[in-house]
Amino acid sequence: MHSATFVPIVLGSDKTTVSVGTGNNEYWPIYLSIGNIHNNVRRAHRNGIVVLGFLGIVKSTHMQPRSSATSIKLI
């Protein structure tokens, strides 16, 4: 007999952007976690939250992305 459990998927992003190389390309990181793991694990950075993806930010002539003091270099 198969058994099953409920696995809520938690997705998130924050205003911290990631720039690659010279900083011409900026990305929003998208994080993934699941609701099953305990809060202390999620806070302890033991791969309880993983990076699912990066969304490229289009350079716009009309609306510049907000600059962030906490941006980090990926490479």
Query: Which spans of this chain sit near other proteins (rule: CB under 8 A)?
Result: 4-9, 25, 27, 30, 32-41, 46-48, 50-63
The token pair at 25 is 């390309």
Strands 72-73 and 18-20: parallel
Comparing CB distances to other proteins, the nearer of 64 and 69 is: 64
> 21 vs 69, which CB is nearer to other proteins?
21
The nearer residue to other proteins, 3 or 70, going by C-beta atoms, is 3
The distance of closest approach from Cβ of residue 12 to other proteins in the complex, given in angstroms and rounded to an integer, is 13
Report how far apart, in Å, the C-alpha atoms of 40 and of each of 16, 28, 33, 66 are: 23, 25, 13, 32
